[in-house]
Amino acid sequence: MEREVKTYVLKRPAEEATPRTLSIDYAAALNSQQLAAVTAGDGPSLVIAGAGSGKTRTLVYRVAYLIDSGVDPSNILLLTFTRKSAQEMLERAGELIGMSSRRVCGGTFHSVANLLLRRYGRSIGIEPGFTILDRGDAEDLIALVRSQLGLNEKDKRFPRKGTIMEMISKSANTLRSLDEIILEEFSHFADHLEDLGRLHKAYETAKRQKQLLDYDDLLVMLRQLLLFDEGARTNISRQYRYILVDEYQDTNRLQAEVIRQLATTHQNVMVVGDDSQSIYAFRGATFKNIMEFPELFPGTTVYKLEENYRSTQPILNLANCIIEEATEKYTKRLFTRKIDGPLPSLVEAAGENAQSRFISQKILELREEGVPLSEVAVLFRSSFHSFDLEIELSRKELPFIKRGGMKFIETAHVKDLLAHVRVVANPLDTVSWHRVLMLVEGVGPKKAQDVLAAIVKAERPFDVLRGVNGRSGQGLKALANTLESLAGSEDPKPEHHVSQIYEYYLPILKDQYDDYPKRTRDLDHLHTIAEGYQGIDEFLADLALEPPDGSAVGVEAPDRDDERLVLSTIHSAKGLEWQCVFVIWAVDGRFPSAYSFVADDELEEERRLFYVAVTRAKRHLFLTYPINVYDRTSGMLLSKPSRFLDHVSSDLLDMLALVEEGGGDWGMAQDLY
């Protein structure tokens, strides 16, 4: 028998009937824009936080305000991209509001997913005791499955385990099919679509059978849980009634979908980010997430943080002008109370080395003026762009650390090619010989040692290679012919050596590295560097210069004598700041890259990358561009400053002409506007 259910209203205690008295004077601690975001009511909120506008401060105070307003800390979820940033924010919130902030659930997307899957995952076949595979373990499982399917011997050009993992990962994070990922980004493996599909399916089956989850599975399975288990979705959403997301412009499609599902019962989502700093598309992040947030969450209130606490107004004027030309954006205009400061400088250099010499000299001048080396950074779009500068800084004994990828000289493919050059220059260089021999098909460590022992004793080392029979014989003969032709060449210039070896090495490069299209650009750049030298010995000597502690990352110098300036890719510099910033290779065809000219979305990401670089500077900003540089990859002669400066009026930039001491120009400034 169905009975009528009546309601009974519980009245609030007298002390809760009136608004709570807040323990913090938020108006005194925040500017008006920050205050509006921090004290926002329920419902979806998008905080567009311009560069240097106090994004972290706003999030910290938002956490404190929610707790201060009576929200149970355990009902707050703070999602960040690193565990460290979540911990730091909650520690700062604790300093404001007290120990209760410790009950806030804060962490990375993946750590929160791990927690929820262990609690609710059984409904989709995930046991609480599942094992998380790290990247290496996941790749090993792929290799095992590949072997079981008989795909190892089928074709030598079948992608390696790391490449397959990259394909699968990108498919998961972008919510696109594996076929689509392969055809768009790994087209040189298009012939293997069917086999890769089989391998992917077998890999997923193997994981499920053994209760294994790889890193991406944590979010994939959480999304599945939220989509297909309504009870779990409702419970989780009610648990986390207030969701805060940091760096929302860096989220991928999978993360955005998870956030939407988590907020299914309340829509109390506040995301903080800057569309102008969305620069991680290569990791699967999409600019569209932050632009489409109001569509995903109807009724969104947009807050803008435009007061900058980092840079001077002249730098911000340039940054505003650059980003104004973006085709899709949230309109904002950065301003600061730091009105005075030198204009940013646009410096034309007659070539790459002139650029490097200028930067080295200017850094020394700035140091004399009191700017410590640790407050100087040189930023670049790609890691290899700094190679000539690294040599020049070493000559001037200016210590530096490099962030963002390996040093150019340490990359495997560059070392491979240079090993061939060294063998020609010095046939007794056994280290280089060993590296060269190991690249030949059919040559293993034992064979390499035997051949090397014979080479050392021989008067005609190249004849030793021709005398080897068996599986490696043909490859060693081709190596001998290449090296001997260079040893007897009438053209001693390094560019000739690099060019000839490149032709020989290219098939090896394609066989050794699945990402060979990217690596060829480094070798093209090595050829460009070689063009600046007349002799092999000088070329190799400069390449051998080792910058002090070049591999050290994030080390702060304890005193002036140990200070190091920073060389960094712009991607690695995001979120950081320096008194003086040099942005090098600001020449059209390099920044933006010529590869971006054919795709509007790629070109727009390059613009945002340029904006990020400019907004790292507090007081001094130098944009340098070499002219008359031939780019072998694109076939272009590079001489024009970056197109991102086309609409910048001349009153926003100082134009510098570099003049050689004693007469002559490094580069003449022209009327660029």
The full DSSP string for 474-496 is HHHHHHHHHHHHHHT-S---HHH
Query: HSE on the CB side for 507, CA within 13 Å?
Result: 8
pLDDT at position 668 is: 40
Cα separations (Å) of 162 from 139, 239, 512?
6, 38, 13
Query: HSE on the CB side for 596, CA within 13 Å?
Result: 22
CA distance 123 to 224: 10
Kindly give the interhelix angle for 161-174 and 135-148, rounded to the nearest 10 degrees.
Answer: 110
Residue 480 in tokens: 């001998």
pLDDT at position 551 is: 26
Residue 500 in tokens: 């000839």
Contact of 223 with 117, CB cutoff 8 Å: no
Peptide bond into 73 cis (omega under 30): no
Q: Where are the alpha helices (DSSP H) in 98-149?
A: 109-120, 135-148
- Give how far the C-alpha of residue 635 lies from the chain's centroid of Cα atoms, to the nearest Å: 27
- Residues in contact with 114: Cβ distance below 8 Å, sequence separation at least 6, in sequence order: 132, 218
Contact of 627 with 350, CB cutoff 8 Å: yes
CA distance 241 to 233: 12
Low-confidence ranges of the chain (pLDDT < 70): 1-3, 7, 10-20, 152-156, 405-410, 429, 541-562, 633-634, 662-673
pLDDT at position 222 is: 95
φ/ψ (deg, to 5) at 84 = -60, -45
- Give how far the C-alpha of residue 394 lies from the chain's centroid of Cα atoms, to the nearest Å: 26
Q: What is the pTM of this model?
A: 0.74
- In tens, the pLDDT along 446-494 reads 788 788 888 877 778 788 888 777 777 788 888 888 888 888 777 778 8
Contact of 586 with 641, CB cutoff 8 Å: yes
- In tens, the pLDDT along 619-670 reads 999 999 998 887 776 677 888 899 999 999 989 999 988 887 765 554 443 3
* Beta strands per DSSP E along 366-496: 376-380, 400-403
Residue with tokens 């205009």: 333
Which residue, 269, 227, 233, is CA-closest to 248? Answer: 269
pLDDT at position 2 is: 59
